[in-house]
Amino acid sequence: MAEVELAVRRPQRADAARNFDALLAAAREAFGEKGTEASLEDIAKRAGVGIGTLYRNFPTRKDLFQAVYVEEVNQLSRTAAATTDLPPWDALVTWLERFVGYIATKRAIVEALSQESEMFRACRITMHQAGEPLLTRAQEAGEVRRDVSFDDLLRMVAGLTAATFIDDDQRSRVLAFALDGLRVH
């Protein structure tokens, strides 16, 4: 399983590592809700740490954006690796459901970062290495249409997530409708 390296160093001590992870989770949530204008003070508060702890781990706002983005891509990779025991269709759907969460965070962060950076290229490669084999496996099992490319799939899900939904249940239903169009019936 390939993962992208974080630009900031993850702490080794258990308590510091917990704070680091809590900050990433809080930032992901805040960026998903409020975009890149989410307050760093709010992120620290959500994580249950002081602002000094946030700055010790992420000296700049850009460092925090990059760390959240990279962690999202690495989670996609981990999700793909964790699906190996699932039937091909279930593995693909599990990964795509996680991809929907990634898209929401990506939209908030991508506007603040250069999409041409080495970090973005590494993330794109990691995402393809994680998800493309899942699509291929589902196609080889005869469960997904052969005329669907991985790029088609990513654009479909990205397009769906661009819409505003009443709630998470509605978003899940709409994704299910789209996924049903991929299946071989």
109/24 Cα distance (integer angstroms)? 13
Residue 86 has pLDDT above 90, yes or no: yes
Question: Which class would CATH give 9-59?
Answer: mainly alpha
162/104 Cα distance (integer angstroms)? 8
Q: What is the pLDDT of residues 130-162, one digit of tens each?
A: 899 999 999 999 999 999 999 999 888 888 877
DSSP tag of 131: H
The pLDDT value recorded for residue 31 is 83
Q: What is the pLDDT of residues 64-76, one digit of tens each?
A: 888 888 888 888 8
The values of phi and psi at residue 141, to 5°, are -80, 0
Q: Do 9-59 and 60-182 have matching folds?
A: no
Dihedral (Cα; 27, 122, 99, 107), 10-degree rounding: 50
Highest mean pLDDT among 45-54, 64-73, 163-172: 45-54
Name the residue ranges covered by the structural domains of the chain. 9-59, 60-182
Residue 112 has pLDDT above 60, yes or no: no
Q: Is the pTM of this model over 0.85?
A: no
Q: Quote the strand ranges of the chain, DSSP E.
A: none
Q: For the chain, count helices (H), then strands (E).
A: 8, 0
Architecture (CATH level 2) of domain 60-182: Orthogonal Bundle (1.10)
Give the rounded percent of residues in the chain with a pLDDT score beyond 90.
Answer: 34
* CB 25, CB 8: distance < 8 Å: no
Burial class, 20, CB count within 10 angstroms (exposed 0-12 / middle 13-18 / buried 19+): buried
